[in-house]
Amino acid sequence: MNSTLTLRFLTEPTDVNFGGKVHGGMVMKWIDQAGYACASNWCSGYCVTVYVGGIRFYQPIHIGDLVEIQCRIIYTGNTSMHVAVDVYSRATTEEELRKNTHCIIVFVAVDEQGEPRPVPKWTPQTEQEQRLEAYAKKLMDLRRDIDEEMRPFLEV
């Protein structure tokens, strides 16, 4: 079982927005696809996205750039997996990647009936992984606070 996954590809003219850069919605699609590939590999099955948080766009991605999406499991619950996703890009004539986007996605493994099912436990092995797990736990606490604040506005 591998807790990391990297996807690489070139951007295409169909990825462009009105400003001539890669559309943010396209980047979010790539993030979800890469995160899903990482999470489904970890749990050896189907999973669904239940939360995408803290998505931050730092720099634009240009048409024709090489894009690299790095995903890693940073926390597992009983049925959930927290995946950190970082998006990098560079012109094909350059060597150094620049960080474009970061976010955390939470996936839940589900069975054939769509019910949550257990996932293998991920255990941090390095100091960096321990920091990432602590980051995931802190974000869980922040999400609970946000959910509480939003509750009055979710009623129909």
- Per residue in 60-89, pLDDT tens? 999 999 999 999 999 999 999 999 999 999
* Predicted pLDDT at 113: 96
For residue 53, name the pLDDT band (cuts at 50, 70, 90).
confident
Four-CA torsion 138, 32, 113, 141, nearest 10 degrees: 10
Q: How far is CA 129 from CA 20, 48, 54, 75, 133, in A?
A: 37, 24, 19, 9, 6
- The answer to whether the beta carbons of residues 67 and 30 sit under 8 Å apart is yes
Q: Which residue matches tokens 């634009």?
A: 60
Select the more confidently predicted residue: 122 or 143: 122
Q: What is the mean pLDDT of the chain?
A: 94
Does the pLDDT value for residue 127 go beyond 90? yes
**pTM of structure:** 0.91
Instruction: Sketch out the chain's domains with CATH numbers.
Output: 4-154 (3.10.129.10)
The predicted model gives 103-109 an average pLDDT of 97
Sheet of 98-109: strands edge to edge?
4-10, 66-76, 80-90, 98-109, 47-57
Q: Which residue matches tokens 């590809």?
A: 9
If one counts every other C-beta atom within 10 angstroms of the C-beta of residue 42, the result is 25
- SS3 track for 32-73: HHHHHHHHHHHHCCCEEEEEEEEEEECCCCECCCEEEEEEEE
**For 112, phi and psi rounded to 5 degrees?**
-65, -25
Quote the CA–CA distance of 55 and 47 in Å, as a whole number. 20
